Amino acid sequence: MARIKLTKTEQKSQRDALKQFTRFLPTLQLKKQQLQMEMRKCQDQVRVNEAKEKELRERLSKWIALFGPELTAGHIAELVTLEAIDSSVHNIAGVDVPVFDGAKFKIAEYNLFEEDPWIDDAIEAVTQLIELKAEREIIEEQYRLIGQELRVTTQRVNLFEKVKIPEAKDNIRKIKIYLGDMDTAAVGRSKIAKRKSQEVAA
């Protein structure tokens, strides 16, 4: 820690710094809380997404078990091509993050007479699975970016709470004690000088 000057100017400078730290700290603490809340939201969204995926996979496995090898996940996947994932950028608690908007698919043409009647439902389930996976990846990226910002914000909160504010308070206390001692010493010297001048006059 740099040595402080024990002057009134430095005392004012330290008081100004303390005022600034204490003014910014609540804003940082609020941002930290918002980021933590957003991270919890991301975790909740991932859990919902995984539950939907599990349910869809169970539906697909029941179809495949019921209708035999003609209806396989591989066969359905051949009919479905992911063309694009649509996302936009939103600002969440001061962080620019991607947000899932949807996915575009190309469905291959197939012969309605050769395929089973439930093929449309199976294709829809597969597109939903692909969409859920794409959405989850974007939510996980949100979580990562918000987590990075949370680490930086937490470091700043800790710096203000545990270093800057206590340091400024301690510096103000030291300067106050020093200036008080100087005032006391000056009064003492003044009294001695007055007494000596009185003695000389006498």
Domain ranges of the chain: 8-181
Q: pLDDT averaged over the chain?
A: 86
What pLDDT sits at residue 71?
Answer: 55
What pLDDT sits at residue 146?
Answer: 97
Two tokens, residue 69 = 């090898």
Q: What is the mean pLDDT of residues 58-84?
A: 72
Give the confidence band of 110 by pLDDT, cuts at 50, 70, 90: confident
* Beta carbons of 8 and 180 less than 8 angstroms apart: no
8-181 domain in CATH 1.10.287.3240? yes
Which residue type is seen at 89?
V
Cα–Cα nearest to 106, from 83, 129, 131, 77: 83
Helix intervals (H) in the chain: 8-67, 73-79, 119-158, 165-201
What pLDDT sits at residue 188?
Answer: 67
Residue scoring higher pLDDT (55 or 184): 55
Three-state SS at 163:
helix
Q: What is the 3-state secondary structure (H, E, C) of 61-86?
A: HHHHHHHCCCCCHHHHHHHEEEEEEE
pTM, two decimal places = 0.77
> Residues 6-40: pLDDT tens digits?
888 898 999 999 999 999 999 999 999 999 999 99
Model confidence at 113: pLDDT above 90: no
Two tokens, residue 18 = 């303390």
Percent of the chain with pLDDT over 70: 84
In whole angstroms, how far apart are CA 33 and each of 46, 140, 149?
Answer: 20, 19, 12
